[in-house]
Amino acid sequence: MSPGIPFQVDSRSPTPIYDQIVTLVTFAVAAGRLARGEALPSVRQLAVSLRVNPNTVARAYRELERDGIVETRQGSGTFVAGGDRRLSAAGRRKALAPSVDRLCAEASALGISPDDLADLVREAAGKLSSGDRA
Amino acid sequence: MSPGIPFQVDSRSPTPIYDQIVTLVTFAVAAGRLARGEALPSVRQLAVSLRVNPNTVARAYRELERDGIVETRQGSGTFVAGGDRRLSAAGRRKALAPSVDRLCAEASALGISPDDLADLVREAAGKLSSGDRA
Amino acid sequence: MSPGIPFQVDSRSPTPIYDQIVTLVTFAVAAGRLARGEALPSVRQLAVSLRVNPNTVARAYRELERDGIVETRQGSGTFVAGGDRRLSAAGRRKALAPSVDRLCAEASALGISPDDLADLVREAAGKLSSGDRA
Amino acid sequence: MSPGIPFQVDSRSPTPIYDQIVTLVTFAVAAGRLARGEALPSVRQLAVSLRVNPNTVARAYRELERDGIVETRQGSGTFVAGGDRRLSAAGRRKALAPSVDRLCAEASALGISPDDLADLVREAAGKLSSGDRA
DNA sequence: GTGGTCTAGACCACC
DNA sequence: GTGGTCTAGACCACG
């Protein structure tokens, strides 16, 4: 997972941290950036790297397992599960829609035009994808 | 306020509803879309329109009052407060930054490119601003 | 907190209950009777002890947090915040002045002399401080 | 009434203004400072003198009438009612007890000793009774 | 166990 | 009509 997902988490967000982790992993699998059978970082590793309580990571992994996204093999670690969870380009756009809508509502309230907002987003996303972090 | 804010709220969002209302009103004032002295919808009205409990709206208004964004006059209603709370264009962009970052992280995990994301956003924002409703 | 505040609340008072709680805690901190870092009773505990709805206590704690008087740690409890909020003797007398004035106005209307009033007050306060209870 | 009651009202108090007026008049009658048959100031007069909405004074008079404390005679004014509502010294002290208790609780939370509190009160009451106001 | 949010509905104060 | 407080009780997140 290290060389893939810009894995960062916002502890001040109202979205629970474990939920942010679930979303990011789910999305990474949907995008094929985490391949079938690939190992996820250990609970402790990821907890350290995200500066988060290990319980929180453990809970995220538990939910991912419940969703069939990952599998835990006792004593060996957590791995991306077997079934194909990749989404088409359209499916991935659809998965992102609620977040997009929420941002647009805020931008609209702030009086930021669609074009200006698109520019802001392109710029921020560009910065992210150059300087990734696991 | 009628012709101002595209006032909609997502009850499934992890962000508390009262917080969404606070954000939207704060942003609308920052953008100058709610003018000084202008009346906000009554607690009950807005509750009906958002399909939310009046207490939830009341809490949002209470917090907005503590923040000095609005003033309430007993028996008369809630109004945008006196001091100028408008923000410059740069200030408004900055206010939006955390939400933009969050979206970009999700898009990155989904493997959506900055350009594609920007297009998605422009499109969604465009739709919103054409068909408004308070 | 157990051996600290004579914590009682008057539900018939026009002063909202949550406000009475805020005042009492704020005063106790100002007096140094609640020390920095000390735990407050849990919301549910205090609610039972005051025979009040938990929501009412929660609201008081929320306001105290916004005022920087206490800090809440999720899943752990509510604690007196770090900054020093203690007041000098003069400051504490000043904080009490409005309540004193109000009582004096009532006593005056009742035709009770300043000396008699002082005696009444000394006596009532003495009883309170002997038989405390949180 | 002019030369009797230190008639002042605190608009920031959570106690409704009309209620403060009711209390003060009731107490003045209990003390014998307003005699049977004596005229109260007109609604408008008192409203001006207290800088308060006439409706508020009118409501106070209405409640006083309901309580049998005063009588309204159409076209002539409001007067202290017939029955003897004066209280003994003990009765007057008892009427004041709730207010005394409330103050003592606050003082206790502030860590002010009964003796110090009594001094504060004597001083404030003394000032009040020298410089009265209608 | 902790605090946090939300709903439903009652009652009060003010204009 | 307006906002404000309170209760009762459900459900969630976090440790």
* pLDDT interval class at C127 (50, 70, 90): confident
Strand partners, D40: none
Picking from D93, D28, D46, D44, the residue whose alpha carbon sits closest to that of residue C105 is D28
Q: Which residues of C touch D30 (CB under 8 A)?
A: 110
For position A6, what pLDDT does the model report?
54
B86 touches chain A (CB under 8 A): no
- Radius of gyration for the alpha carbons in chain A, expressed in angstroms and rounded: 16
- Cα B64 from chain centroid (whole Å): 12
Residue C16 is which amino acid?
P
Q: Is C58 left (phi over 0), alpha (psi -120 to 50) or beta?
A: alpha
**DSSP letter, residue D39:** B
- C-alpha to C-alpha distance for B125 and C9, rounded to whole angstroms: 51
Across all strands, nucleotide nearest C58 (CA–C1'): E3
A124 touches chain B (CB under 8 A): yes
Instruction: Say yes or no for a CB contact (<8 Å) between A125 and B106.
Output: no
Q: Which residues of B touch A80 (CB under 8 A)?
A: none
Read off the pLDDT of residues A42-59 as tens digits, 9 standing for 90 and up: 888 888 888 888 888 888
Q: Which residues of D touch C31 (CB under 8 A)?
A: 109-112
* pLDDT interval class at B41 (50, 70, 90): very high
pLDDT at residue C4 tops 60: no
Q: Determine the average pLDDT of the residues in A86-114.
A: 88
For position B134, what pLDDT does the model report?
43
Q: Which residues of D touch C116 (CB under 8 A)?
A: 93
Q: Determine the average pLDDT of the residues in B104-113.
A: 88
Read off the pLDDT of residues C40-92 as tens digits, 9 standing for 90 and up: 999 999 999 999 999 999 999 999 999 999 999 888 899 999 888 888 999 99
pLDDT at residue A19 tops 80: yes
For position B6, what pLDDT does the model report?
58
Question: What residues contact D119, with CB distance under 8 A and at least 6 apart?
Answer: C118
Instruction: Say yes or no for a CB contact (<8 Å) between B103 and A121.
Output: yes
- C-alpha to C-alpha distance for C50 and C44, rounded to whole angstroms: 10
Residue C123 is which amino acid?
E
Q: Determine the average pLDDT of the residues in A88-97.
A: 88
Chains adjacent to A (≥3 CB pairs closer than 8 angstroms): B
For position A125, what pLDDT does the model report?
92
Across all strands, nucleotide nearest C73 (CA–C1'): E3
Whether chain A lies against chain D with 3 or more Cβ pairs closer than 8 A is no
**Among the ranges given (B34-43, C112-121, D42-51), the one the predictor scored with the smallest mean pLDDT:** D42-51
pLDDT at residue B91 tops 80: yes
For position A25, what pLDDT does the model report?
87
- Mean per-residue pLDDT of chain A: 83
Strand partners, D72: D78
Asked if B107 and A103 touch (Cβ cutoff 8 Å), the reply is no
Asked if A49 and A134 touch (Cβ cutoff 8 Å), the reply is yes
Tokens for D52?
A: 């308060």
- C-alpha to C-alpha distance for D57 and C123, rounded to whole angstroms: 35
Which of A80, A92, A112, A121 should one mutate to test binding to chain B, selecting the residue with the greatest count of B CBs within 10 A? A121
Q: Which residue has the tokens 């008087």?
A: C69
- From A67's Cα to the closest Cα of chain B, the distance in A is 17
pLDDT at residue A85 tops 80: no
For position C131, what pLDDT does the model report?
56
Give D73's Cβ-side CA count (13 Å radius). 10
Instruction: Say yes or no for a CB contact (<8 Å) between A100 and B111.
Output: no
- Mean per-residue pLDDT of chain B: 87
Instruction: Say yes or no for a CB contact (<8 Å) between B117 and A121.
Output: yes
Q: How far is the CA of B18 from the C1' of F9 (A)?
A: 20
* pLDDT interval class at B1 (50, 70, 90): very low
pLDDT at residue B4 tops 50: no
Q: How far is the CA of B72 from the C1' of E15 (A)?
A: 13
Picking from C73, D3, A118, A68, the residue whose alpha carbon sits closest to that of residue B126 is A118
Q: Which residue has the tokens 């290290």?
A: A2
Instruction: Say yes or no for a CB contact (<8 Å) between D110 and C31.
Output: yes
Read off the pLDDT of residues D57-103 as tens digits, 9 standing for 90 and up: 888 888 888 888 888 888 888 899 887 778 888 988 988 888 898 89
CB count, 10 Å around CB of B4?
Answer: 18
A131 touches chain B (CB under 8 A): no
Q: Which residue has the tokens 């048959």?
A: D37
Q: Which of residues 62-81 of B touch A (CB under 8 A)?
A: none
For position B22, what pLDDT does the model report?
93
Asked if D5 and D24 touch (Cβ cutoff 8 Å), the reply is yes
Burial state string for A75-99 with b = 16 or more CB within 10 A and e = fewer than 16: eeebbbbeeebbbeeeebbebbeeb
Strand E closer than 7 Å to the CB of C12? no
Q: Which residues of B touch A86 (CB under 8 A)?
A: none
Asked if C99 and D117 touch (Cβ cutoff 8 Å), the reply is no
- Consecutive H or E run containing D78: strand D77-80
Whether chain B lies against chain A with 3 or more Cβ pairs closer than 8 A is yes
For position B62, what pLDDT does the model report?
95
Q: What is the largest CA-CA distance in chain B?
A: 53
**Among the ranges given (A56-65, D6-15, D29-38), the one the predictor scored with the smallest mean pLDDT:** D6-15
pLDDT at residue C13 tops 80: yes
pLDDT at residue B2 tops 90: no
Q: Which residue has the tokens 């739709």?
A: B127
Q: How many residues does chain C have?
A: 134
Q: Determine the average pLDDT of the residues in C99-109.
A: 88
Which of B12, B110, B122 should one mutate to test binding to chain A, selecting the residue with the greatest count of A CBs within 10 A? B110
**DSSP letter, residue A67:** T
For position B3, what pLDDT does the model report?
43
Q: What is the largest CA-CA distance in chain D?
A: 53
- CA angle at residue C57 from C55 to C60, to 5 degrees? 110
* pLDDT interval class at D122 (50, 70, 90): very high
pLDDT at residue D19 tops 90: no
Asked if A19 and B14 touch (Cβ cutoff 8 Å), the reply is yes
Reduce the DSSP state of residue A43 to 3 states and report it.
helix
Tokens for A73?
A: 């093999």
For position A132, what pLDDT does the model report?
52
Picking from B23, D65, B12, the residue whose alpha carbon sits closest to that of residue A107 is B23
Percent of chain A with pLDDT over 90: 13
**DSSP letter, residue C74:** T
C15 touches chain D (CB under 8 A): yes
Tokens for C1?
A: 């907190």
Tokens for D57?
A: 């004074």
pLDDT at residue C2 tops 50: no
Q: Which runs of consecutive H residues, i.e. helices, occur in A5-113?
A: 17-30, 43-50, 54-66, 89-109
- Cα A32 from chain centroid (whole Å): 12
